Chains A and B, each alone.
Chain A
Amino acid sequence: MEPLGIILSSAVVGLFLAAALAAVDRRLAYGTATAAAGLFALAAAGTLATGTVHGLVWSGPLGDPEGLALDGLSAVFALGASLVWIATSIYSVGYDRGPSGLLAGCFALTLAAIALLVASTSFLLFVIGWEVMTLASYGMILQAHGRADRIYHAAFVFLAFGEGSTLLVIVAVAALRVGTGTFLFAALPAGSALALVAFLAGLVGFGLKMGVAPFHMSEWLPIAHSSAPSNASAVLSATLTLAGVYGLFRLLSLLPGPPVWWGGLVLGIGAVSALLGALFATVSEHAKGLPAYSTIENNGLILVALGVALVARADGLVYLAGFALFAALYQALVHAIAKTGLFLTAGIVERGAGSLDLNAVAGGGKGGEASGGTGGILAALSLAAAPPLAGFVSEWMILEALFQSYRFAPTAAQFVGLLAGAAVALAAGLIVVAMVKFVGFGFLWRPGSARRGSGDARLGLPVAGLGGLLLALGIGAPWLLRALAPGVSVFLGRPIAAPIGAVAGLGIPMGWTILSGSPLFGVLSPTVVPIAMALGASVAVGYWALGRRGASRRVEPWMAGSPPARPGETYTSFGFSTGIRLMMGSTLRTREVRARTGAVVEAQVATPVAYNVDLEVLDVFKVVYDTLVDVVAATALALQRGLMPGRLGRYIAYLLIVTLFVVVAVAAAS
């Protein structure tokens, strides 16, 4: 076995070992997980640099050889996941103060399962990893603090969607097995009915894990509703959904030659998810619900890029297909990093302020921890697509890919691309509001009365590291894209070069510029952008340093002659986004609920009355699912009463009917 293979194998084994060590000591488990994640990152980086890496191999129970390996595609996801795990594991050492090692064990087991499914060489191992991941995450959610009924409800929702996802993934895998005769990753041409079954089951099954519309309940509810531990939230929202993205990419890479409508469907789901995710993120008041909704938006963006790639491939637009895939992989990578940073920041906020309600937090979360705050701001800015951070580059690439939907041959595909472009642009605008709200009310803005929490460098430094990584990945985007080329090549089944080049006359060094189309369409040099920004800023900094230093004066903010703001006289986080609530009232089903709370003396003319006013928004899909749960529960109860009333005669009749059916079926078959 080659050295990288040994590293890969020991990384996966090390993560399982970490889960076992949790029974001994919590910190030992997190430490082992950190080291194993580091090895995993090393193996992934090595794979991207040198090519496919093979680890352990053994003969499987169903005839196919089973084993661990990373190819170009899985290495991209392995790299993103492992970078996030390193930061989260270090963070967890300081964060996890629970009474037992249960959280640490479930945490490490989730990581191990994801590593297993990403590094598996067959779908059999993949499904096993998938199911272990679901169950271990379920265990993590149960470790949440808060009201027991809410936690159980959230965990139930997670498990219901998770098992539904597993079932559909099994259906997709079974269809592939029937079509290709093996569990190994073998291609099944897209023309057949089996391929269609695999595609649809896979899209829904993996989409459930990604939390895309209309399954977004599976994403936000377990995180927000139960206030899952922050390290668990980061793993759930950043890497669990990343596993879903990987599964979808792997599946679609094995279904070559898909019809155009597959891409259109993926594109449409992605656009709707992006818009809904951004909208609900904007009106969310929960320091973890907001990032969870933002994950839905980002997974939607990944689907949009994937959809463009599928349509472009079907149309023979190779450059555009490749560019869109680069965008999708890059987006998956940087979103995982940024979202982890945001959730870890939410954990610091909770520590500092004792609440996750952004209205109550009001800046209490900064906690004197400058490193965590800076990292959190960088992560939020990246998600808001601010240059020169990585999120800016990925959003630019996705929009550029969408703008080129005019190149599609079918008019319907052009039209879908057009609508998706509008939806993505709207989502991009809304998410800026959401991120400003998270950063502003989470930890930047602090009214005079808010208390500061105590800082903890173990919590702050990993977040700062993630923030720095986002900055580096943004500025170094052209080089990172080159590293992603093996992944795109695996997906398209042919060698694809990164969309990097130079434009004559711009004076930018060769290889610093991303070219979005061939023939030339859009150009961006993420490396030159920060240089230009620094030059611009240097003018202001120079002016300040040379000229007016020390001439500033601190005063109380002008409150139109009123005394300085008292408690209850400052804008709330809720008020900040009420404009969106009212503007998008038809989508959010906004309604005002007014309840009289004070007594009234009818005899008086102008008697003050006390009211409680709530402006509620409603997710219609939640109503649908709640109804579904009620119907299923009621049906189960009815069936239980009707079929199993404890009467022997009915059971005997049932046995007879089944036996008869089997006999007839066997006779007919033979």
Chain B
Amino acid sequence: MTRPVWREASPGPTGEWPEERAPAYAAPDGAFVLWNDLREGVSVLVRGPVGPERAAVVAPWTRTAPGPHPLATTDAIDGYGVFTFPYGPVSMGVPDAGRFDLRTYGERILEATPVGGFKSRRVLSSIVGQRPEDAALRIERIAGPFSAAHATAFLAAVESARGQPVPISELRVRAVAQELQRLHNHARQIARVAEAASQNVGHAQMAALAEEMLRLSARLFGHRGLFGALLPGGPPRRLDPADRKEAGERLRRFARAFDELWTLFLGSRTFLDRIQTTGTVRRADAVRYGAVGPTLRAAGVPWDDRLRVPTPPYDDLFLSLPQETEGDGLARLLVRAGEVHSSLLLLEQLFDRWDQWRAEEVAPAPAVADGRGLARTEAPSGDLVYDVRLDGGRLGAVGLRSPSHANWPLLALGLHNAVFTDFHFAFETFGFSFAETDG
């Protein structure tokens, strides 16, 4: 039996929201609120309806209205010569369909409102009534680059709702898949920033490294995007000693190449100038709005689900926690580069101890309510929450709070007074996915 990922607390006095408490999740039906106590480093669950003081934060997470809608609440700016510069939904370099309404008097961004909902596939509502195993096929396709994280969190939530024990070997496989995908994502985000800075050689080399992680995923799990890899009946996994040996060698080559390249990037003024002081997120805002992942850690908050609310096998592994304090684009990339190292170390530990683990079954996390499971995992862009309710073995309702949901307001704040040319640099360091929030 693993320990619960939260501590229960009774609702405190409403009104003032305490400092050092970051909102993490609010159930769509108002059944409970989850927040992170940053002083004690624990997650706290409060049952009962969401008070009005939380409504503004919760609003974008629970919005299900079809069609374009703002993804963050932003200030209304008016003034002489001020106008809206609509950018998107087809925007250069942004892989998904999403628009940014930039309020400006020219040159400077006074307020940026991300607008999503252009390509909503209504995944969450379409899986209601399905068997969880079938639904997982759709869940992992919500956002391709984060498929392993979505599959892991969803499956864990289902197992928690069912009270179903899981073999430790299966949890290890999920961890391997997640860390591989993290390596791919971090390399890809750095490559994108290099592309925006017109550093063509650096971009090509970093993109090749990201590609190498996709190929390694295909080699080990039978699919570049890890689709189906973590589900029952997925493609055969190739994790025999010979495979793990080859993977270890490829990862060591990746590490050497990444280190060399990253050192070169850090020596390039043209690269650093574009991301230093760009898209700065202040620590207070990061806490207040519930930022997650590298965005949060770059702003000086040492929170990582793998450390603070660890599930097996992370509770048994050594994990370093890269952290910065500046909160700008450079800080986020430094955190990502540090996490490349910690992920490589995690994979090495996993492969080294592969045969030392006893074949045992791990009890799932306790259900949050009868037939209702809540699971969190640290996706490449940050904390990911799935809230699954089962009705007679089939899905009753599914709640999702993705890293993109949580970080949109921070992008809007970070773009205050940025110049237009900063836009891509700020955007790419966060690691957003419109698909995640469109659902």
Contacts and interface: CB of A to CB of B under 8 A. Distances in A.
Q: Answer yes or no: are A and B bound together in one complex.
A: yes
Interface of A: 285, 359, 559-562, 565, 568-579, 582, 597-598, 603-615
B99 interface: yes
Contact of B108 (A561, A569, A582, A610): A582
Contact of B89 (A562, A575, A603): A562
Q: Specify which of B56, B91, B106 lies most central, judged by the most chain A CB atoms within 10 Å of its CB.
A: B106
Contacts of B118: 561
Interface string B74-112: 111111111111111111000001010000111110100
B289 A605 contact: yes
A574 B57 contact: no
Contacts of A606: 56-57, 72-73, 289, 409
B107 A613 contact: no
B15 A603 contact: yes
Interface string B105-135: 1111010000000100000000000000000
Interface in B8-57: 15-17, 23, 52-57
Nearest to A358: B81
B46 to A, nearest CB: 16
B57 A568 contact: no
A560 B89 contact: yes
A613 B110 contact: yes
A569 to B, nearest CB: 5
A579 B118 CA distance: 32
B288 interface: yes
A604 B107 CA distance: 31
Given A575-B105, A575-B107, A578-B107, A560 B83 contact: no
A598 B88 CA distance: 29
Given A561-B97, A562-B99, A574-B106, A614 B83 contact: no
A560 B91 contact: yes
A33 B261 CA distance: 78
A611 B75 contact: yes
B53 A613 contact: no
B78 A285 contact: no
Contacts of A603: 15-16, 52-53
Nearest to B412: A606
Contacts of B87: 560
Contact of B83 (A575, A605, A612): A575
Which of B23, B76, B89 has the largest count of A CB atoms less than 10 A from its CB? B76
Nearest to B53: A603
Contacts of A562: 86, 88-89, 99
A570 B85 CA distance: 7
A612 B75 contact: no
B20 to A, nearest CB: 14
A606 B15 CA distance: 14
A613 to B, nearest CB: 4
B194 to A, nearest CB: 24
B54 A574 contact: no
Contacts of B108: 578, 582
Contact of B75 (A285, A560, A579, A610): A610
B56 A612 contact: no
Contact of A608 (B16, B73, B82, B288): B73
Contacts of B55: 604
Contacts of A611: 75-79
A561 to B, nearest CB: 4
Contacts of A577: 106
B73 A607 contact: yes
Interface residues of B, number: 42
Contacts of A565: 86
9 contacts: A561-B88, A571-B83, A575-B107, A578-B108, A603-B16, A605-B53, A606-B409, A609-B76, A611-B77
A579 B108 CA distance: 9
B83 A572 contact: yes
A610 B78 contact: yes
B345 to A, nearest CB: 37
Nearest to A577: B106
Contacts of B89: 560-562
A615 B77 CA distance: 13
Given A605-B289, A613-B79, 16 more contacts: A560-B99, A562-B88, A569-B85, A575-B81, A575-B104, A575-B106, A575-B107, A597-B78, A605-B23, A608-B76, A610-B77, A610-B78, A613-B105, A614-B79, A615-B80, A615-B105
B405 to A, nearest CB: 13
Contacts of B52: 603-604
A578 B75 contact: no
Contacts of A561: 88-90, 97, 99, 118
Contacts of A605: 17, 23, 53-54, 56-57, 288-289
B77 to A, nearest CB: 5
Given A572-B106, A577-B106, A612 B78 contact: yes
A579 to B, nearest CB: 5
B56 A604 contact: yes
Contacts of B72: 606
A615 B91 CA distance: 28
Given A575-B107, A615-B105, A608 B83 contact: no
Given A574-B105, A577-B106, A613 B15 contact: no
Contacts of A604: 52-53, 55-56
Contacts of B15: 603
A285 B106 CA distance: 14
B74 to A, nearest CB: 6
Given A605-B56, A605-B57, A571 B99 contact: no
A464 B82 CA distance: 34
Nearest to B288: A605
A571 B73 contact: no
A568 B56 contact: no
Contacts of A573: 81
Contacts of A576: 106
Contacts of A575: 81, 83, 104-107
Contacts of B289: 605-606
A267 B99 CA distance: 52
A578 B91 CA distance: 23
A108 to B, nearest CB: 38
A598 B78 CA distance: 11
A609 B54 CA distance: 17
B82 A613 contact: yes
Nearest to A603: B53
A597 B90 CA distance: 34
Given A578-B105, A579-B107, A612 B90 contact: no
A521 B74 CA distance: 61
A611 B111 CA distance: 11
Nearest to A559: B86
Nearest to A583: B107
B81 A608 contact: no
Contacts of A559: 86
B32 to A, nearest CB: 18
Contact of A598 (B76, B97, B107, B409): B76
Contacts of A359: 80-81
A95 to B, nearest CB: 29
Nearest to B72: A606
A584 B42 CA distance: 51
Nearest to A578: B106
B87 to A, nearest CB: 7
A571 B420 CA distance: 14
A608 B75 contact: yes
A595 to B, nearest CB: 9
Given A579-B107, A605-B53, A574 B80 contact: yes
**Most chain A C-beta atoms within 10 Å of own C-beta, residue among B54, B56, B89, B118:** B56
A437 B409 CA distance: 36
A614 B80 contact: yes
B81 A285 contact: yes
Contacts of A609: 75-76
Contacts of A568: 83-84
A614 B73 CA distance: 22
B84 A569 contact: yes
